[in-house]
Amino acid sequence: MSKIVFFDIDGTLLDHDKNLPASTKEAIVTLKNNGVFVAIATGRAPFMFEYLREELEIDSFVSFNGQYVVFEGEPISQNPLNNGKIEELYFEAADKGHPVVFMNHMTMKSSVKHHEYIEKSLGGLKFAHPEHDDRFYVDRELYQTLLFCEEGQEKYYRETYPEFNFIRWHPYSVDILPAGGSKAEGIKKMVERLGFKREDVYAFGDGLNDLEMIQAVGTGVAMGNSVPELKKLANMVTRDVDDDGIWHGLKELELI
């Protein structure tokens, strides 16, 4: 295989209603038939897109925005959060009325029994409110934690916890990642394993957590529905995800 393409999930592979467009599935099948290696690069946890991997028959992925990388079904890179610092942040956030959701590669647990922000944020991804376990972080490797607060309120945490990256993905929710962690770092691990040259690496994305990824690859493609910051950095802007964006992008790149 001479080329590799990484695809984000939400707003890229999945449309605005979190469905997989028929044209996208057809494009992925054609891409693989053309001998191109296909992988996923997402902020989601592995358990949150297992169904999609099965449908598209993809066994290699960068998850948790680069913190947990799997090649052909086998983990090749793990970058967990500092549990001591997560505990500190959790207690401080609790005092401020900001709940968190702890995540490992298998499942997620909420620090509170119920919160409207958790329900709305995860509900947008078609996930139910996680079960309550405020000690889930103890003696477990966590690869991402979600902080639930309104826009602007993460500024305090960003200034107080330099060990972490804070990336907003919803009006009520922010990803907490290890500092320096990104999809780009996870992609580097997989590209090293496969031995691809940078110019043969492509990536499609739409969000703020795709900025480093789009810059790290040879050809970065922004969806038509991307945030403006991503469109500025991308080598190419394709159509909206709801307008067969993946298919048209791959066609324009002459990969299908």
How many angstroms separate the CA atoms of 202 and 129, rounded?
A: 35
- Please tell me the predicted confidence (pLDDT) of residue 1: 62
Per the rule left: phi > 0, alpha: psi between -120 and 50, beta: everything else, 72 is left
For this structure, is 95 an active site residue? no
What type of residue sits at position 72? E
Whether the pTM exceeds 0.95: the reply is: no
pLDDT tens digits, 127-162:
999 999 999 999 999 999 999 999 999 999 999 999
CA 189 to chain CA centroid, nearest Å: 16
Side-chain half-sphere of 185: how many Cα atoms within 13 Å? Answer: 17
Q: Which of 5-9, 63-67, 90-94, 178-182 has the weakest average pLDDT?
A: 178-182
Percent of the chain with pLDDT over 70: 100
> Can you list the domains of the chain with their CATH numbers?
4-78+181-252 (3.40.50.1000), 83-178 (3.30.1240.10)
Nearest 5°: the CA angle 215, 122, 240 is 45
pLDDT tens digits, 7-25:
999 999 999 999 999 999 9
Structure tokens given for 109:
């647990």
